[in-house]
Amino acid sequence: MSSNKGRNLIIGTLLAAVAIMAVGYAALAQTLNINGTAAISSTWNVAITGISEGTPTGTATNKTPATFTGTSATFSTDLKSPGDKMIYTITVSNTGTLDAKLTALTVTPSTPATSGIYYKVTGVTVNTTTLAAGATNTVTVEVGWNSADTTMPETKTVPLTVNMTYTQA
């Protein structure tokens, strides 16, 4: 019997030790929680916000009033004599909260005309022109009839397309 008593005493002692350790662990354990949320409050808005009616040289005139929307500007010029030209100023604004950079500029027709109608786009340079949040920039478009022409050009209407791509700076 003494071996049973000894074994019972050992088992009882072990059970008591386990119970004390469980209570001790519970008394010393702490659960920590981390909670949070994330929200994007920035805004992206690079847009055309204005276009001038055009500054004429010679007898050039606006055929229709210049117009714009957030993503496009439109003008129509009547050139009457060699040397006539019209200069339009288009305002591009960054009303968002993120800085923007001009990463692509496509002008069609892409080569300047040596006779007839020509276009010249200035004021912006790819990978150089930036628009800080809240800033504006002007793009100048010059359309003209080459002053060296001495005969009527075969092509009397030449459309222009300028595509500008701004991305986050």
Segments making up each domain of the chain, as ranges = 46-168
Sign, CA dihedral 57-63-64-69, equals negative
pLDDT-derived band at 1, boundaries 50, 70, 90 = low
- Residue 130: pLDDT over 90: yes
Tens digits of residue pLDDT in 79-104: 999 999 999 999 999 999 999 999 99
| C-alpha dist (Å) from residue 119 to 39, 77, 107 | 45, 12, 9
| C-alpha dist (Å) from residue 129 to 23, 43, 101, 125, 150 | 68, 20, 6, 5, 38
Tens digits of residue pLDDT in 26-59: 567 788 999 999 999 999 999 999 999 999 999 9
The DSSP code for 58 is T
Distance of alpha carbon 87 from alpha carbon 78, whole angstroms: 12
**pLDDT (0 to 100) of residue 24:** 63
Whether pTM > 0.85 for this model: the answer is no
Residues sharing a CB contact under 8 Å with residue 50, sequence separation 6 or more, in sequence order: 68, 90, 91
